[in-house]
Structure 1
Amino acid sequence: MHQTSDPRLMKNRSRLGHKVRYALRHPARVPTHLRRAGRNAWLRLKHRGNHVAYYRAVMASDTARSPEAAVGGRPSHARWLAIGQMQYDYLVEHGLRPEDRMLEIGCGNLRAGWRFIEHLEPGHYYGIDISPDILIEAKKTLVRYGLQAKVPYLTPVDNLKLDFLPDSWFTVVHAHSVFSHSPLEVIDECLAHVGRVLAPGGFFDFTYDRTEGREHQVLGEDFYYRTETLVRLAQKHGLTAHFMDDWERLPHGQSKLRVTRSEARVTG
């Protein structure tokens, strides 16, 4: 198992002591945090027991303020472009080919997706998201970059069972900053079904917020998992998960696992 001595991976952001220290270091951020905490508490109460419905409401609220910030957390177009470019470059370096058939889970407003669509053959990109609001913004991104002829599919979903998608079809499945906002039961649901839609030799890359201390969550939005927890969850569903060390060198703040249901194809 991958090991690191990075002290940031031992932080428990849900503890009161951490919150107090963070507030003292960043007092200007306190009002925003309090507003978000109040909004989230109300939405969790309104959608009690249904995380997808709760987070859909979070996304609707965030998208209304700033679609780019809703998928990236920072209201900066330059940051939106940079994170999308990073995702794209990484997959291309790992062998993403124009003929690949790609499913992007949590495609958002196509921060990386527009680059994937441009790279892939027409009809080879399928993006899903739980937020209809962000998918409307995704369509605007398609128009902005003139990608209509690539005929991508964009579909809202209310779970990650993937039951409307064909067996053994997608050679690449990708989810950036999705499981970092998901409780374990949502991740389990996805891993229980993603193997069915993966083509032989295909892979599923997903990022997550990694901790080497106690697993925890903040505001019902940000979830921190130990790598071994997700590896075991994948194994439960007959999948093999591999920690992507080379992803760690990139400036993004999350870790990445690659999941396969068979021997990974040779690339490069």
Structure 2
Amino acid sequence: MTYAVKNPDKIVPHLRRLVRDTWFRLRTRDHVAYYRAVMKSDTARDPGGAVGSHTPRRWLALGRMQFDYLVEHGLKPECRLLEIGCGNLRAGHLFIDYLHTGNYYGIDISPDILMAAQDTIVQHGLGDKLPYLTPVRDLRFAFLPDAHFDVIHAHSVFSHSPLEVIDECFAHVGRVMKAGAWFDFTFDRTEGQEHQVLREDFYYRTETLIALAGKHGLRATFMEDWERLPHKQSKIRITKPSLV
């Protein structure tokens, strides 16, 4: 109520979203199916807005920020990159152009946003780079080969995921990571009580996600240098300790 008083312009959009999301939850069996319905609705209205960029300029800027960060941290053209929740290729179009042909693999739970991703490939003339775009129903990666990817990237995915979805990802992602690979993901960070808004936006404490990764034998590091960039989310990097 305090937030509503301070932000009266957001009351009507919030109520509209509440009604829509309640309808979707009543008609779907789990969170992935529910959020797939959310993405279908959002993509029909605005593919850029569906991935959190309501203007072309913001879409380009956020994509460039993600791309530059990974390149600064060691992404090379010869790397194989898996992007979880690739959306309409906000950052993906830059990764595809930079990487060697066939080295980009994008997955998303939303077939509708992947249709928009195909439009992005056409608009940017990237067909010759042969990117892989695949719809998925979970984050088990069962169809992907062992030890295949050098870099895994998930931007604004876990910010929309309950803990059981993140746990599923952590339980299986290590299998598809090569020796020396890293997995970067962003999340909505809170230093107070963990909470969610309309089952769309989830806020976690850093130590919760670090401990969850550790449960699956993964090493997680909070990326402090990401905090200086103009983005509201935080970032954690996961690596798989080498077997001695």
Displacement of 1:21: 2.4
Displacement of 1:31: 1.1
AA of the residue aligned to 2:173: V
* 1:28 partnered with 2:13: no
The DSSP-based 3-state class of the residue aligned with 1:162 is coil
* 1:165 partnered with 2:144: yes
Q: Which residue is equivalent to 2:188? A: 209
* 1:64 partnered with 2:44: yes
The DSSP-based 3-state class of the residue aligned with 2:188 is strand
AA of the residue aligned to 1:250: L
Which residue of 11, 22, 31 maps to 1:51? 31
Alpha-carbon separation, structure 1, partners of 2:64 and 2:2: 34
The aligned length equals 242
Which residue of 135, 160, 174 maps to 2:153? 174
Give CA deviations for 1:212-267 in whole Å, capped at 9, x if unaligned: 1111000000000011110111011110001100000011101100000036xxxx
Q: In the alignment, is the contact (CA less than 8 A) between 2:217 and 2:241 conserved in 1?
A: no
AA of the residue aligned to 1:154: L
The DSSP-based 3-state class of the residue aligned with 2:51 is helix
The DSSP-based 3-state class of the residue aligned with 1:53 is helix
Give CA deviations for 1:120-177 in whole Å, capped at 9, x if unaligned: 0000000000000000000000000000000000000000000000000000000000
Q: Which residue is equivalent to 1:118? A: 97
Alpha-carbon separation, structure 2, partners of 1:22 and 1:111: 31
Alpha-carbon separation, structure 2, partners of 1:75 and 1:93: 27
Gaps of 5+ in 2: none
Alpha-carbon separation, structure 2, partners of 1:62 and 1:35: 13
Alpha-carbon separation, structure 1, partners of 2:70 and 2:96: 13
Gaps of 5+ in 1: 1-19, 264-268
The DSSP-based 3-state class of the residue aligned with 1:104 is strand
The DSSP-based 3-state class of the residue aligned with 1:212 is coil
AA of the residue aligned to 1:194: V
The DSSP-based 3-state class of the residue aligned with 1:256 is strand
Taking CA–CA contacts closer than 8 Å with sequence separation of 6 or more, which of the two structures ends up with the larger relative contact order?
1
Q: In the alignment, is the contact (CA less than 8 A) between 2:88 and 2:120 conserved in 1?
A: yes
Q: Which residue is equivalent to 2:63? A: 84
CA RMSD of aligned residues (A): 0.8
Displacement of 1:25: 2.4
AA of the residue aligned to 1:59: M
AA of the residue aligned to 1:27: P
Q: Which residue is equivalent to 2:83? A: 104
Alpha-carbon separation, structure 1, partners of 2:3 and 2:65: 28
Percent identity between matched residues is 67
Moved over 3 A (4+): none
Alpha-carbon separation, structure 1, partners of 2:31 and 2:66: 26
Alpha-carbon separation, structure 2, partners of 1:66 and 1:29: 19
Displacement of 1:75: 1.7
Q: Which residue is equivalent to 1:254? A: 233
Give CA deviations for 1:180-203 in whole Å, capped at 9, x if unaligned: 000000000000000000000000
Alpha-carbon separation, structure 1, partners of 2:26 and 2:204: 24
TM-score by length of 2: 0.98
Q: Which residue is equivalent to 1:194? A: 173
The DSSP-based 3-state class of the residue aligned with 1:89 is helix
Displacement of 1:27: 1.7
* 1:235 partnered with 2:236: no
Q: Which residue is equivalent to 1:131? A: 110
Q: Which residue is equivalent to 1:41? A: 22
